[in-house]
Chain A
Amino acid sequence: MSNIAEIFDSMEYGPAPEETSYVHSWLAEHKGGFNLFINGEFVPARDKERSFASHNPANGKKLATIASAGQEDVNDAVNAAKTAFPAWSKLSGHERARYLYALARLVQKNSRFLAVLESLDNGKPIRESRDIDIPLVARHFYHHAGWAQLQDQEFPDHEPLGVIGQVIPWNFPLLMLAWKIAPAIATGNCVVLKPAEYTSLTALYFAELCREAQLPPGVVNIITGEGDTGAMIVDHPDIAKIAFTGSTDVGRIIRKHTAGSSKKLSLELGGKSPFIVFEDADLDGAVEGLVDAIWFNQGQVCCAGSRLLVEESVADQLIEKIKHRLQSFRIGDPLDKAVDMGAIVDPIQRAQIDSIVKKGEAEGAEVWQPDIPMPENGCFYPPTLMSNLAPSNSAVQEEIFGPVLAAMSFRTLKEAVELANNTRYGLAATIWSENINRALEAASLMKAGVVWINTTNAFDAACGFGGYRESGFGREGGREGIFEYIKFRDEWRDEPAIVSAPELTATDHIDTDKIVEIDLTPKQFIGGKQKRPDWGRTIPVASHDGRNEGRVALGNRKDIRDAVEAAFKAESWAATTGHTRAQILYFIAENFSTRKDEFTRRLTALTGARKSKARAEVEATISRLFAYGAWADKYDGLAHSPPQRNVVLALNEPIGIVGIVCPDAAPLLSFISLWAPAVAMGNRCVIVPSERFPLLATDFYQILETSDMPAGVINIVTGERDVLSKTLAEHDQVDAIWYHGSEVGSRMVEELSASNLKRTWTNGGRGRDWISARTGEGREFLRRSCEVKNIWLPYGD
């Protein structure tokens, strides 16, 4: 023990190993290989040859052999889930809550085991798996036990979806499992989940806990495998929804694969999240924030604050502080209780990190790494700071998914916001400032689903998490996350949304006694102005009995381009108050009401509807405009209650530019019913009105012109529905697209939306009861009109 004297002088830390023997014993029990968890049983893959190995990245040693599910296994799992669904979904919320509660308890009772297993398999420090991942897993099951309990009261008129296919990543293996499984089964769905091939082990242990909790067989199925297994789940026809967390590239592939399948989809994808430090920040606090942002989990975090934006006045000071902090970083065995960073999950990932760093360096970046001891073996990468960066540098543009910070400076809040939003992603943003005015202004301007003020990488089951833009769509956690696993009961009707026009009769009967009416020229409505179509072409519109009712512009892709441009310029609409938007919507209703008879006549002439039915549609239109005038200042966000001293504001923000493609059914009312909620929430719209009855929309723009609606908020392009939809769906400036047309068109729109991962809402060719306020207006439409942004604001002095 004489070395005590030496340590007394050196004051080194020394090793602090976590006990792992009991976890290794469990692994040894499965020496023959881990099986698939299907229908409550562990079963081998049908094809015994299909298996893969899992390694400990800290030392490269093999941990286990794991079965890889093939197509028949996937079928078995989906069938098990499908079979279990009727009984599981019919249980009362309280009964399901008991199961979730049991799972939460079992996670807690096995928490250290799970933490150790996670760190062995993934390479993350035991501190993180023990203090962050596993407690959040338990918290997620507790919280969602509560949603199961409250489901009937809180989500009336909604029902579960059926079988959910879930594919999760390797960076937070068990936590992502919890984020996926808890809300799905709480709301009455059954799941088939595939963990990432690098990190299957905690999922398999969780399967054992499902048995211990006596979860009915088939409610949770866990099938291990590699990429091809994931693809089999995504493509399986009996799956109602795919929930995926992973890379944006794979997200895009899934978007394309599920296009037209009527599968619901939520994607939580990559990011290049900004970390903004203003000069009035607690700089030392911000440095620790960065440690938690980019050097958490070895930087393998989708929402990692990987782009540092620091105000020029404190840039040098902050960089010095970061370097100072990194000089005391400890990197090593993830099972040591005193390391800051563990191992990178796999040598392939490490090579990927290194290649982007080298590329960025070749492009002119300065690369700094601290002079600290690195483990000699295993898969490790030092914390890295890159500076002298242009926004075009690969290290700024690409998601590195490693412990690499790209630092840039800014001069003003405006510039900080521009730099922060200058990305295809929009997952998270972090803001450090002691000035609440500045911090909240910046937060409101961030294009990101989560904004952390003076904290970072804070997560909780009660708060929604998910991205804007190409970081994916859908939210996980909180009330907003529940909607990903339920659907409105009577959304669609089995009747066509579109109708075909009758043949135009050669000429109308000519009444020589009558004075010729003045020729009317309906145009496009773009940027607040009536515009002729780009190529100067028009097409006739037939009345219900084949007479020519007039000609409308035949829009083409350039008209869509112009309309999107006009919508883009109308950005200030998003910042208007709900009250202002309400006033304009009421004013539109007022001006419309003076022209009721004209619209009634138009409806009867075009659709052949009886006058009473046409009048009912006109009256419903007025009511609908009033409804969204009413909603404009009432669709409030939430203040969530995570178990920390925090205000978490879930704000409903406009999505941006919404492409709206209208059906032919109820052509006036459906047109209004689609844009009014979008506009009420602050979006700008590019509308393709009913192809068959476009005149109702072109008649309507005169009302818009007299109702104080700012230019560019509503743009109308008439023409062939699917031709224009294609351009809209492909347009990368369009943030969402709502399509009401054919089944084929729905598929096309979903497929093409993959380019920038638009939020899509398609009818799959089905109709809708537009007259009924229950199905034709309300919260579902408003929810589709908004992104939920969760702003975390810890407080205290």
Chain B
Amino acid sequence: MNQTNVMELGGHAAARSNSERKEIDVRNPGAQFEPDWVENVRVNLSAAERRIATLSGRRTVKKAWQAAWLLKAISFMDLTTLAGDDTEGRVRRLCAKAKQPVRTDVLHDLGIDELGVTVGAVCVYHAFVETAVDALKGTNIQVAAVSTGFPAGHAPFETRIQEIEASVKAGATEIDIVVSRRHVLTANWRALYEEVKAFREACGEAHLKSIIATGELGSITKVGKASMVCMMAGADFIKTSTGMESVNATLPVSLVMMRMIRDYHQRTGYKVGFKPAGGISNAKTALQYIALLKEELGDDWLTPKLFRFGASRLLGDIERQLEHFATGRYSAANRHPMG
């Protein structure tokens, strides 16, 4: 379905028939800028927080289910390094970990030698895209590059476009862009739309993950509105944070973004992915995110094609929990190879 079709359909009745569509592999082409879709966004923070507060009591997984979910969490992971002191060596080490995230003996004890769990992607700065592509050759692990003047997004517009093009050329299959927060803060939704749309075009075949930097928007309602605009502009994923803001991914913010994805899907029939990033460092939190995803968006979204964690420290805790399940003893960090 192309953009024109979406425009023609519009309206409530059309949204229903569209929601029947199932194809996951169809990319979100975006939609015409619809001011109503933005203005009608209503989010009540207290209600969102209450939903989150009760969720962990409503949904939990234990024993084998927990182990399986944690393995799934690994497959959802964008294993990330975004530090000033990154080097090729560091990135190669990370890629090795991405390919073999859990010790083979633990996998054996869990009876899943054949499952072939890897992380979903490795996420790096542009300078290391080629290194990562090389290191991950022959795997299904995607290489994601942060882009567009990450993390603040204040580089000249043309520079940001070129940065995307360069990373795609270098082999990145996913581009994590940052939006201009000033457009959100000044409620210049059309400018935000045009910006993200241009980024999407620059991405070509690469998937675009749009970081809205929820911690800098000052309002939960703006989180919802910015999410909606990014999807209209053709984002394949919407992502909470750069990991560099003082407040990064939170469950209430994620709830709101997931609900926007659901609304967008109901309006257009397209499934947009979600990536919380920053601050998700333990297994228990990861399980809460997955339960939230399952509850709010349903099982269709339980795939790396539509859900990712942006995380650098999460894997370590998951490894320990898996070993605990396999052996019955609590594990230690130094027993697991570092990335």
Contact = CB atoms under 8 A, between A and B. Distances in A.
A328 B291 CA distance: 11
A476 interface: no
B42 A14 contact: no
Contact of A127 (B58, B69, B221, B299): B58
A5 B115 contact: yes
A463 to B, nearest CB: 16
Interface in B43-74: 43-51, 54, 57-65, 67-69, 71-72
A796 B62 contact: no
B115 A13 contact: no
Interface in A231-269: none
Contacts of B63: 14
Interface in A21-45: none
Interface in B295-328: 295, 298-299, 302, 326
A645 B48 CA distance: 13
Given A5-B112, A282-B42, A11 B57 contact: no
Interface stretch (A156-164, A183-191, A284-292, A301-309): A284-292
Contact of A337 (B47, B60, B68, B112): B60
A15 B62 CA distance: 7
B219 interface: yes
B44 A14 contact: no
A51 interface: no
Interface string A447-462: 0000000110000000
A280 B42 contact: yes
Nearest to A286: B47
A288 B47 contact: yes
A794 interface: yes
Interface in A424-454: 432, 434, 454
Nearest to B57: A127
Interface in A84-136: 127, 130-131
A315 to B, nearest CB: 12
A14 B112 contact: no
Contacts of A11: 68-69, 72, 290, 294, 299, 302
Interface of chain B, main secondary structure: helix
B110 interface: yes
B44 A282 contact: yes
B51 A16 contact: no
Contacts of B43: 282, 285, 797
B60 A282 contact: no
Contact of A797 (B12, B64, B111, B220): B220
Nearest to A336: B60
A337 B57 contact: yes
B59 A131 contact: no
Interface residues of B, number: 43
A685 B109 CA distance: 80
B92 interface: no
Given A5-B111, A283-B42, A338 B68 contact: no
Nearest to A17: B62
Interface string A317-352: 100000000001010000001111000000000000
B128 to A, nearest CB: 30
Contacts of A131: 54, 57
Contacts of B47: 282, 285-286, 288-289, 454-455, 794
A285 B48 contact: yes
A55 to B, nearest CB: 25
Contact of A1 (B46, B49, B111): B111
Contacts of A454: 44, 46-47
B259 interface: yes
Given A11-B299, A292-B50, A328-B298, A16 B62 contact: yes
Contacts of B51: 285, 288
B59 A4 contact: no
Interface string B273-306: 0000000000000000010001100110010000
Contact of A4 (B45, B49, B111, B302): B111
A7 B259 CA distance: 26
A5 B115 CA distance: 7
Given A127-B58, A337-B57, A7 B64 contact: yes
Given A5-B114, A794-B46, 14 more contacts: A2-B112, A4-B64, A11-B68, A11-B299, A13-B60, A14-B62, A16-B62, A127-B54, A281-B44, A282-B42, A282-B47, A282-B48, A292-B54, A330-B58
6 contacts: A7-B65, A11-B294, A282-B43, A285-B51, A292-B54, A455-B46
Closest 4 CB pairs of A and B: A285-B47, A14-B65, A7-B68, A794-B46
